[in-house]
Amino acid sequence: MSFSPSRLFVALSAGLIACAAQAAEVQIAVAANFTAPIKEIAADFEKDTGHKVIASFGPTGGFYTQIQNGAPFEVFLSADDTTPEKLEKEGATVPGSRFTYAIGKLVLWSAKPGYVDDKGEVLKKNAFKHLAIANPKTAPYGLAATQVLAKLGLSEAVKPKLVEGANIAQAHQFVATGNAELGFVALSQVSKDGKLTEGSGWTVPASLHDPIRQDAVILAKGKDNPAAKALVDYLKGPKATKVIKAYGYDL
């Protein structure tokens, strides 16, 4: 069977209309530490599926409050596993949709090359003026940072020097701009493919803090949105997991 140019145009147009009809937007709330990876993943997802991702970035605790207050998010990528679990128990999620998409790593980082040694001894020397961390009450990476300081017996010694960011992005900004000589940030913010992109750092052993298990979940508002389920499925696929690993996360 052969198509005339006019029939071929009609067939292609019908196919494009069908794809457009199936494409949808999904609004997602993303923990600040996962900003760079999700931007890459979303670009691939949009090319592969036709769906569009509208992402907001911020602290996990802040998103929890917004979701409780009716924010329009349909998928939540948290920086911990407890917040999505809490939302699940409150009936604010699609049952059975929660899963761990990444396990985060904490790094003591400085924008200055050679400033942080590979064992973190710079902390014990305590010669710095400012140490940046994320707010431990709302940001899981901030909580992990306080656990590390406690395990090392340094909590009281460095307390006067702590500067808190509202989230891990702001903590990173404090260090990147030189307002703090060093700080605890997410490894994903300062590395790619296993190497630091700038400055110097010490990847904190996982034994010094609770696991940073980062869970994703489809929220109740995304129950009937095909793009929400498609994105969650995509996060589990090979393209997304390759990106996640490249930014230093475990799976």
Annotated binding site for molybdate: 60, 168
Is residue 214 a contact partner of residue 248, using CB atoms and an 8 Å limit? no
CA 34 to chain centre: 2
Between CA 42 and CA 227 the distance in angstroms is 12
Structure-token match 């605890």, residue found: 184
| CB hemisphere CA count around 25 (13 angstroms) | 5
Neighbours of 138 (CB within 10 A): 21
- Name the residue type at position 36: A
Between CA 31 and CA 38 the distance in angstroms is 10
Phi/psi at 79 (5° precision): -95, 5
- Helical (H) or strand (E) element with 101: strand 99-104
Between CA 87 and CA 204 the distance in angstroms is 30
Phi/psi at 241 (5° precision): -65, -30
Q: DSSP label at 223? A: T
Per the annotation, binding residues are 60, 168
